[in-house]
Amino acid sequence: MTILHADNVSYGIACRQLVSQISLVCESGQFVALLGANGAGKSTLIRMLTGLEKPSSGQVWLDGQSVRTIDRRVLARRRAYIPQNARTEWPVAVERLVALGLMPQIPVFGDLDRQAWRKVEAALAMCDLSHKIGQPATTLSGGELARAMLARALVGEPEIVIADEPLSGLDPKHAMDGVARLASLARDGRLIIASIHDLTLAARYATHVAILRDGKLLAQGPTASTLTASCINTAFDVEACVHGTGAQAIVDFIARADAPARPSAA
């Protein structure tokens, strides 16, 4: 059992508190969707969970050990991180970009052995990128690069995958494929934590949600009982209806009666 525990963590900068006293326990087998409006603190919390950012107060623990004290190479083998709006300036072939996810396990340069290449090929196929082998990563579209970064995160078969808006820029098919893949990894016993803006996809695929507002944890728990119309209204200042659960769930937003009218066509 892998347990990642944010213990009363806060983070502030320039006299501004971005995250305030959040406690969150996540376990292997869970797909935890971090939800909240822009600026709610999701990215800051994610960076603390990965060990990349030190909390101003509180602590993040991985199986009882501070993530800040775990050897960087060991931590990189155990957890993968997908940053928001990832970019690449190096025209490396797509398969080499994905192979970078194996860096904690193999040498950075030189040829990969057959076993490593099989892992790369499987990750490319999983993310619908097999046809991009040999293409410079700098020529990928934004959505293709997002899928390549997902493949890079998954190729090393980490215990934990932490992703900051991994579905951003993806078309509907690949967004659904990507979130379904994350859910499948959770069912296989991995711990998945991802910030997601599409509430319907979160309702359908996440086992748990943690909802943030203004840097504070508004609600957390199993998705079906936590992602409610009331919580959505409080977190996003919008009216919504949640229909169904699991694969049939739909989050439908309700237009406000006092919303500005659309200008008529000339």
Q: pLDDT tens-digit profile of 226-245? A: 999 999 999 999 999 999 98
- Residue 207's pLDDT is 97
Q: 148 phi and psi, to 5 degrees?
A: -65, -40
pLDDT tens sequence across 129-171: 999 999 999 999 988 998 999 999 999 999 999 999 998 888 8
Q: Say which residue, 256 or 182, is predicted with more confidence.
A: 182
The mean of the pLDDT values for the chain is 91
pLDDT tens sequence across 38-59: 999 999 999 999 999 999 999 9
Q: Please give the single-letter amino acid code of residue 21.
A: Q
- Residue 112 reports pLDDT greater than 90: no
- Residue 245's pLDDT is 86
Q: How far apart are the C-alpha atoms of 47 and 30, rounded to whole Å?
A: 19
Percent of residues, the chain, with pLDDT higher than 90: 72
Kindly state the DSSP code that residue 10 receives in the 8-state scheme. E
- Residue 53's pLDDT is 95
Please give the average per-residue pLDDT across 106-110, as a whole number.
58
Joined together, the tokens standing for residue 213 give: 């507002």
- Residue 243's pLDDT is 93
Positive or negative: CA dihedral 81, 75, 159, 117:
positive
Q: How far apart are the C-alpha atoms of 144 and 124, rounded to whole Å?
A: 11
Read off the pTM: 0.89
E-strand ranges in the chain read 3-13, 16-27, 31-35, 57-62, 65-66, 79-82, 160-164, 191-195, 208-213, 216-222, 239-243, 250-254
Q: Could you give the domains of the chain?
A: 3-85+159-254 (3.40.50.300)
Residue 115 burial by CB count (10 A; 0-12/13-18/19+): exposed, middle or buried?
exposed
Joined together, the tokens standing for residue 75 give: 């931590």
- Residue 86's pLDDT is 77
**Predicted confidence band of residue 109 (pLDDT cuts 50, 70, 90):** low
